[in-house]
Structure 1
Amino acid sequence: MTQRHLDRLLTPQSVAIFGASDKPARVGTTVWRNLRSGGFQGPVVAVNPRLARLDGQRCYASAADLPFIPDLAVLCTPPASIAPLVADLGARGTRAAIIVTAGLSPADKQAVLDAARPHMLRLLGPNCIGLLSPHLGLNASFTHTHARPGELALVSQSGALLTALLDWANKQRIGFSHLISLGENLDVDFGDLLDHLAGDPHTRAILLYIESVSSPRKFMSAARAAARAKPVIVVKAGRAPAGMQAAASHTGALAGSDLVFDAAIRRAGMLRVDTLKELFIAAQTLARFRDNPASELMVITNGGGAGVMAADEAAHLGVKLARPGDALMRRLNTVLPGNWSHGNPVDIIGDAPVQRYVDSFDALLNAPEAGALLFVHAPTAIVDSRDIAEACAPQLARHPGRVMGCWLGGDTVEPARRCFEAAGIADYETPEEAVRAFSLMQTYRRNQMTLRQTPAASTLAEPDQARARNLVAAALAEEREWLDEVAAKSLLAAYGVPIVATHLVPPTPDAAAAAARSITGPVALKIVSPQLLHKSDAGGVRLDLADEAAVRTAAQEMLAHLQATQPHARLEGFSVQAMARRPHAQELIVGAHVDPIFGPVLLFGQGGTAVEVIGDRAIALPPLNRTLARDLIDRTRVARLLTGYRDRPPARLDAVCDVLIAVSRMMGDLPELAELDINPLWADEHGALALDARVRLSAARPAGVARFAVRPYPAELERTLLWRGGSILVRPIRPEDEALHREFLESADPEDLRMRFFEAPHPWSHDALARLTQIDYEREMAFIALDPNAPDGRRTLGVVRLVRDPDNTEAEFAVMVRSRLKGQGLGRLLMQTMLDYATARGTQRIIGYVLRDNRAMLTLVKSLGFTTQADPQQPSELIYVSRAMPAP
């Protein structure tokens, strides 16, 4: 389906309930009464051929009898009736339906989809509780209670959890913009709702309860777009490893599905929490603290024990406590008694009067090192908690996003807690809960930084794809599932991964000895057998063999051992390689695996024979750049060893990043790759070196760009075009182009910037440039024209941009060329490139807005087949231009 008509679902003007009933304990009865009692102001009608009236209101026999065409239909009728109802409603003009009914067979579901598609009628469910939009008074569900209006949107795959969360939220006085039960998400899914809620003015944060994701690329595109606009917080069921399957490679064994989901959440800039309660804690914290850049916490309390509890939890979670500076210490010494704690936590002592609280906050709020304050208060008989709150709340409200409150206790401190909440100060039940909330905020900020960071350009040479494809094709032609060690290393070498040269010889002691003769120095000898993938476990690895005699003896012993312990293993040969001598090297693992949901994933961690036991690994989704590769490394414990310690110099992390990027490229270029291990990969001050590798192939082509959850850079769209008698490179923009794009924009005439952005020029922040260069290639495209004759070969001459709506029905363009190059045909060349791309992608219509006084642009778009007209929804100085696109 598409993203269209979700407004009819979430903000309808009229509703009809099919299957509304007067019988107790019926779903139709509950939905009807919820809708009637919720305060919805639009017309509401009941449809039931058995009843003439329902609760004093006329009841209609069918859709044909209704006095109006409802925006939203709620279907509580038997499974066999749903498809005919959807077809009838769609033909009459209804564009959204909630299928509450459960028990639809696969044939029923397909019939419902077939009935809805011709009319683009959106379907929520089946087997769902329904939805609530409290700001409209809309309760089109069979929940047991109504919801408070608020700014949180909750989308849940579990109806039972939605009702439980609603009950808990009402008790906590938490309100919602929308609560949506997805049910079996036959049509409307997480991606659709993320797209809609990202632009919903009633929603400040989006909460998701996820059990599974059915359209990973759609989900990731929608999640990345939504997470740039507002906090998106996720609870994902299924952390336990019970459902994981064993795999032949180390990577397959380590890359559990829940770790992959974590990687997807991180890549999208969202935040994952562990519990339903944390879902709301994180939402409250991010709504109030999202713009607070503080990385350290200052604790102020009237009780030493409460402060210690906060400090202990901070140490446990890795949250740093701020150290008071000299100026702050002097200021606190003047307002606090001599026996105060003289450090962080700031214990102002339990007998503190109201003024001491006010003075302490004044000192802390004006100290630059106290960026985030946690106030923990234990009730005493000396001062009423309400008096403290009423005195401090106005003071703290002048510093939004600075203070977290924790009033310990129950009914005694309830008035104080409500006073703080009214002032916009987040409240937590315990010090540990508050510190955990601050830790979640730091995780969220790291994810957001990763989403927006500008990567350095990779220094990797272009891979030898022809050589790699020949290796894969030859193995598949021989019906070999696993590449032998020599072929696996050759594949790595084709992508620029440094390897130890390895010789494959027949499985005889004489052949192994002869190979060793050609190598200077000690050698390593390994068996090659498709049945024995973990060679060392089968006694198939011997190291530091000094000469031919030692190699011959080792080979004889290996053969005898294999005959005794693995008689059915087919021995294809021996691999012989020179012993690498790098005393400072750290053993790592780099791997790739294909997840059944998110497709290819990459793994990095500490390597060696005990890799599964150590379990030090992190997962990322490809494609990778330098920034994402470094983030993957930093999420492991072994990363600390790579920075150097004692007599070990730091490893060259850029070289490790290059290996990760190379494997990422391989998974995109070679769809037949099913699993890959480089273990061990050595890393030291000299760089990286692959000592051993395993590669599993599959003719089913499980990998490849088409399976990536995040669409990679489309190199196939690069073009060399003729312009002014010479050639220019036109290619998609890359995240690495931020500096290039900054120079292009900062060199433009102010008037040209006004024509492009409809406002006066302003300084270009990193976030603004990241939004222009770090695009989602699944939904956006920006082609830049580069001057190959520039001194560095990199100077932007112009850019054309296209942003498509999620259903690819309509796309908005913008174009700009370097000021000194106007009027020389470059704008037309870029526009034609964009139009060709839109046609190939199947976009139905291209639109744009042009300033009325931008005559050159209006002339250009008219010559390209665009029509122009005024748009009453836009300022009068803007002209709306559009062009219908041909079918691809």
Structure 2
Amino acid sequence: EAFMRLAQYRRNQELLMETPPSVPEEFTADAETARRIIQIALTAGRRRLNAYEASQVLSAYEIPVVPLQFASTPEAATDVALELEMPVALKILSPDIANKSDVGGVTFNLKNPLEVLMAATEMLNRVRDLAPEAVIDGFAVQPMHYRHNIYELMMGVRTGKRFGPVIFFGQGGTEAGVIDDVAYALPPLNMQLARDLIWRTRLYRRLSTNRARPVDLDAIALTLLKVSQMVVDLAEVVEMDINPIWLSSNGLLALDANVVIERSTESPTKRLAILPYPKQMERRYTLPDGRSFLMRPILPEDEPELRNLVKRMPAEDVRMRFFQPIHELSHEMAARLTQLDYEREMAIIVTDPDVIPGKGTIWGVVRCNADPDMERAEYAILVDRAMVGIGLGPMLMRYIIEYAKRQGIKEIYGEVLRENESMLRLNRALDFKIEATPDDPGVLHVKLPLI
């Protein structure tokens, strides 16, 4: 057992050092719509979204769902069914019922309006008998979906007292509890962490080896990223169970979701064990000639382009930055420079706008590493020689100084080679104090008080 734990620790360390692949496609999260739906439910005194609301929240994060129409009465369900292509499925809508099947709240394959009316009436009576305290909002009417050769998955969120929200993935369907094939990961996820979450299930072997039923594993990973983004955005979501999710060669489709909510006055990121990517720090920068750049925090996916920046820089410029000749960054060193704890360190890059992370050229980078007491922070900067003279260096320095002030840091400092005249000119322009270092006459200490 000790050997297995050691092997798993080594595997975890290797995983953390791997370069995450770029997200296969962009997705736009409509967090405001999701928050509005959740707030309406909370205002009504509810702690669980009904199926219709849950479907809307998933759709807001571009998670594919079966189209769902709301009906308040059995008669209204009949009218809705007439507008849909028969046959249809019928589900009870109640914030007090987590498992609709337990109370007979699901009926499939209703072929005509009369069957819908009879099924809805019987379902209403049955649920009232089995769950008399439950508030019933109405019915969800959905077109039936028939798929052959599908896999049933599940994914979602659990929240614990020690680590906060945790994302899970595994075998779904009605037998999920019996099969007990599930793995967990702390958000926020990137593509590599999402893939690892999938790999740690027994289900992965079936998904990856069955050539007769090929599936897109990255589609699962992307959906896990969307769930991760929901956790980052929505502090009110404390539990979510998307089950089943149908997976086939045509993609995936969420059939049902149970979402538990509670009021929260905290920032969504406060409850996370790992601070997520600070997207609010992204800024656009436009040159007088019309060229645009994006300033944003660095991501692990940026490792290849950071290595390319160093590789194409003149050797002397690289020596000025690292105080020694470096022909190229090793994977290990680049990983350390791109995989940050955003709570105490920051690196801002200048890159091309409207490009998926990992795909756009990095033209410059500035970083700021705070001391353990968060009193002082050391900076370092590197700008592509092709971009020198257009203002990228001063822009990056002003941004990292502004960031340090917001963090409550009292002083930002750095070490500069005496012959690095361009950096020293920028330091003087920004009111840094420049001092000699007693241990090395070739190195100057520069510092800027922030309070």
TM-score (norm 1): 0.49
Per the alignment, residue 382 of structure 2 pairs with 816
Verify: 1:565 aligned to 2:130, yes or no. yes
Which amino acid is 2:253 matched to?
L
Which amino acid is 2:39 matched to?
A
Instruction: Give the secondary-structure state (helix, strand or coil) at the position aligned to 2:227.
Output: helix
Per the alignment, residue 844 of structure 1 pairs with 410
Deviation for aligned residue 1:702: 6.9
Per the alignment, residue 224 of structure 2 pairs with 660
Distance 1:803 1:663 in 2: 30
- Per-residue CA deviation, residues 484-523 of structure 1 (Å, 9 max, x unaligned), is 1111111100101000001110132x22222222221321
Distance 1:714 1:763 in 2: 28
Distance 2:419 2:246 in 1: 62
Q: Is this contact kept in 1: 2:310–2:328, CA < 8 A?
A: no
Structure 2, unaligned stretches of length 5 or more? none
Which amino acid is 2:58 matched to?
L
Distance 2:59 2:403 in 1: 34
Aligned residues: 447
Per the alignment, residue 687 of structure 1 pairs with 251
Q: Is this contact kept in 2: 1:507–1:571, CA < 8 A?
A: no
Per the alignment, residue 422 of structure 2 pairs with 856
Q: Please give the root-mean-square deviation of Cα atoms over the aligned residues, in Å.
A: 2.0
Q: Is this contact kept in 1: 2:305–2:359, CA < 8 A?
A: no
Deviation for aligned residue 1:849: 0.7
Per the alignment, residue 210 of structure 1 pairs with none
Instruction: Give the secondary-structure state (helix, strand or coil) at the position aligned to 2:132.
Output: coil
Per the alignment, residue 295 of structure 2 pairs with 730
Q: Is this contact kept in 1: 2:311–2:327, CA < 8 A?
A: no
Per the alignment, residue 473 of structure 1 pairs with 39
Instruction: Give the secondary-structure state (helix, strand or coil) at the position aligned to 2:325.
Output: coil
Which amino acid is 2:336 matched to?
R
Which amino acid is 1:781 matched to?
M
Please point out which of 110, 115, 135 is paired with 1:545: 110
Quick check: 618-627 or 588-597, which moved more? 588-597
Deviation for aligned residue 1:713: 0.6
Verify: 1:867 aligned to 2:437, yes or no. no
Distance 1:786 1:558 in 2: 57
Distance 1:707 1:564 in 2: 40
Distance 1:498 1:468 in 2: 15
Per the alignment, residue 279 of structure 2 pairs with 715
Q: Is this contact kept in 1: 2:77–2:117, CA < 8 A?
A: yes
Per the alignment, residue 448 of structure 1 pairs with 13
Structure 1, unaligned stretches of length 5 or more? 1-273, 279-436
Per the alignment, residue 827 of structure 1 pairs with 393
Alignment of 1:352-501 (within 5 A): 437=3, 439-458=4-23, 459-501=25-67
Runs of 4+ in 1 over 4 A off after TM superposition: none
Per the alignment, residue 163 of structure 2 pairs with 598
Q: Is this contact kept in 1: 2:105–2:123, CA < 8 A?
A: yes
Please point out which of 341, 353, 373 is paired with 1:807: 373
Q: Is this contact kept in 2: 1:851–1:877, CA < 8 A?
A: yes
Deviation for aligned residue 1:764: 2.4
Instruction: Give the secondary-structure state (helix, strand or coil) at the position aligned to 2:399.
Output: helix
Distance 1:731 1:748 in 2: 21
Per the alignment, residue 203 of structure 2 pairs with 638
Q: Structure 1 vs Structure 2: percent identity of aligned residues?
A: 42
Alignment of 1:486-525 (within 5 A): 486-508=52-74, 510-525=75-90
Distance 2:107 2:242 in 1: 19
Distance 2:250 2:352 in 1: 36
Distance 1:525 1:735 in 2: 45
Q: Is this contact kept in 2: 1:672–1:703, CA < 8 A?
A: no
Distance 1:564 1:517 in 2: 28
Kindly tell me: are residues 799 and 549 of structure 1, through their superposed partners in 2, closer, same or farther at Cα, counting changes over 3 Å? same
Per the alignment, residue 239 of structure 2 pairs with 675
Instruction: Give the secondary-structure state (helix, strand or coil) at the position aligned to 2:238.
Output: strand
Distance 1:796 1:863 in 2: 25
Kindly tell me: are residues 702 and 667 of structure 1, through their superposed partners in 2, closer, same or farther at Cα, counting changes over 3 Å? farther
Distance 1:789 1:513 in 2: 46
Deviation for aligned residue 1:722: 3.8
Q: Is this contact kept in 1: 2:315–2:327, CA < 8 A?
A: no
Deviation for aligned residue 1:556: 2.7
Distance 2:138 2:260 in 1: 18
- Per-residue CA deviation, residues 716-754 of structure 1 (Å, 9 max, x unaligned), is 001112444444211111111122212211110001000
Instruction: Give the secondary-structure state (helix, strand or coil) at the position aligned to 1:643.
Output: helix
Deviation for aligned residue 1:546: 2.1
Instruction: Give the secondary-structure state (helix, strand or coil) at the position aligned to 1:694.
Output: strand
Q: Is this contact kept in 1: 2:298–2:349, CA < 8 A?
A: yes
Distance 1:565 1:467 in 2: 34
Deviation for aligned residue 1:564: 3.2
- Per-residue CA deviation, residues 308-332 of structure 1 (Å, 9 max, x unaligned), is xxxxxxxxxxxxxxxxxxxxxxxxx
Distance 2:330 2:305 in 1: 14
Q: Is this contact kept in 1: 2:48–2:96, CA < 8 A?
A: no
Greater relative CO (CA pairs within 8 A, separation 6+): 2
Distance 1:814 1:740 in 2: 18
Distance 2:295 2:127 in 1: 58
Which amino acid is 2:257 matched to?
A
Per the alignment, residue 583 of structure 1 pairs with 148
Per the alignment, residue 165 of structure 1 pairs with none
Kindly tell me: are residues 701 and 537 of structure 1, through their superposed partners in 2, closer, same or farther at Cα, counting changes over 3 Å? farther
Which amino acid is 2:44 matched to?
E
